[in-house]
Amino acid sequence: MAPKLQPRCRFSIRLASESEETVEIKFGLISADSHIVLDKDAFSRNMSKTKWGDLIPQVRETEGRDGKKVHRWFVHDAPAGGWGVANCPAAMDSPNPELKIFPQRWEEVPPKVYDPLERLEALDDDGIDAEILFPNDPARGQFFAFGEEFELACVQAHNDATGEWRAASDRYAPLLILPYLSPIETIVAEVERGARMGHRGITVLGEPSHTVKQGVKHFNDPFWYPLWEAAQELEMPIHFHESANAGLVSVPHWDGYSPNAFHTVMTSPTAAMVAQLIPNLVFSHILDRFPQLKWVCAEAGLAWINYVCEGCDHEWEQRHLWTEGFTTRPSELVHRQVYMNFWYEKSGIELRHTIGLDHIMWESDYPHTTSTYPKSWDYVEKTLAGVPDEERRPMLYENAMRVYRLDGARQ
């Protein structure tokens, strides 16, 4: 189908999707949340060596905690965290399934996570047709620590490198990251550039003024409206991944937790954080101001959205918020514009008809810890036991095809 831009669209660029084939569905499963692993030269290849020299994000040898020589990412000459040189425990061969393994040296990183062609074989082995690609270390938000110009260079290099994956196979749909310290015109230009490269959405910080600081405007500020407008016109959904790094930590860290217990304590409230971000989209008027813009909550599960819908509707009724310009019932806005992912849960699947079958997508989270790889279909069968085929299809791949325009169509 020949897609056409709406006449009102002020963006005259030609989208990469217009010339592309439809993704072939062989298995009937699309992961709406996987994580790219960029190869160790991804930034060097896409940034000016003359200008940035050794500040370019790169893999270097350094001394590990036990004194062994290990590899780690360095950004702006500083180590960029992580329990390994790549976050891909689900793809590691582990002698003990009770242990999470993070590769300590680059040669231990399996090519089936960072080589786009080898990774296609991993997808075939796992029975997955396509992946929506979220960032991974070292690109999970820390570029803003080093000033506007460096941040922009890194973000552009990241988006170029993930764009290479789109060029390698239309089974990959990468998401953009944004340069938060740049003027809004530059941010919008990066989104337009990404649209031309074939990126299929944008992943954002839940509250940049908390996370980035440095004078960055609050999420609700009109400063961001041109971004939402561009994303709407270009059909680029906006993504909150997990807690969207919004910094809503209720209880400070306690030294008494082991690293694993701390992980459970810190990650489990994710949904209770996104369950605040979506009401903010409602009550800031962002949803009704940009009515075609889609929002996706990735790796946050499903069932909590009922809290958002019922709670917002309740407040809207009790406080007569139509007198404040909210003419549409909040749950209608949410059902119109918000999408969610699942991978293991019972509660959201039981409530799938209330949530909306056409707003639920499946995710594998490959190659992170919680990933269903390499037994994704076992998880699917277990999670969707008793769910009829005609209800499975939208959740397993049809919705993702539509949301990410993998069928080549524009609305």
Partner 1 sequence: MRGHDRPEFISVDEHVQEPPDLWESRLSKAKWGDRIPHLSRQRDRSERWVVDGAPLDLPGAASAGALMPERTREPQRWDEVPPMAYSPAERLKAMDADGVDYAVLYPTIAGASGETFGRITDPELELACVQAYNDWLIEEWAASSDRFIPQCIVPLYPAEAAAAEIRRAVALGHRGVIYPSVPMKLRDVPHINEPEYDPIWSTCQELAVPLCFHSGAAVAGELQPYGMSDAVAGALRNLTRPASTGGVMVNFLMSGALTRFPELQVVFSETGLGWATYLLEYADHQFAGDKLAHEGYALTPSQVFRRQCYVTGWYDQISLKIRHLLGVENILWSTNFPLATSTWPKSWDTIRGWGEDVTPEDRDRILWRNAAKLYKIS
Residues that bind partner 1 (CB under 8 A): 98, 207, 218-221, 246, 248-252, 254-258, 260-261, 263-265, 267-273, 275-277, 279-280, 283-284, 301-312, 314-316, 318-321, 323-324, 326, 344-348, 350-351, 354, 369-370
> Which DSSP helix (H) or strand (E) runs through 62?
strand 58-63
Closest CA relative to residue 14, chosen from 236, 232, 196: 196
Taking the complex as a whole, the smallest distance from the CB of residue 31 to partner 1 amounts, in Å, to 17
Identity of the residue, 29 or 355, whose beta carbon is nearer to partner 1 in the bound complex: 355
328-336 contacts at long range (C-beta below 8 A, 24 or more positions apart): 328/288, 330/279, 330/282, 333/282, 333/287, 333/288, 334/278, 334/282, 334/287, 334/305, 334/308, 334/309, 335/309, 335/359, 336/287, 336/291
Phi and psi (nearest 5°) for 113? -105, -35
Shortest gap between Cβ of 299 and partner 1 (angstroms)?
Answer: 10
Chain length of the chain: 411
Nearer to partner 1, 186 or 354 (CB): 354
Q: Closer CB to partner 1, residue 157 or residue 287? A: 287
Shortest reach from residue 211's CB to partner 1, in Å: 12
Nearer to partner 1, 167 or 225 (CB): 225
Which CB atom, from 186 or from 276, has the smaller least distance to partner 1?
276
d(CA 257, CA 261): 6
Q: Which is nearer to partner 1, 172 or 240 (CB)?
A: 240
C-alpha to C-alpha distance for 346 and 303, rounded to whole angstroms: 9
Residue reference for tokens 């680029």: 236
Peptide bond into 367 cis (omega under 30): yes
Shortest distance, position 248 Cβ to partner 1, whole Å: 5
CB of 395 to partner 1, least distance (A): 17
Judged by DSSP in three states, 60 sits in strand
- Give residue for tokens 């095809």: 401
Q: Least CB distance from residue 243 to partner 1, whole Å?
A: 10
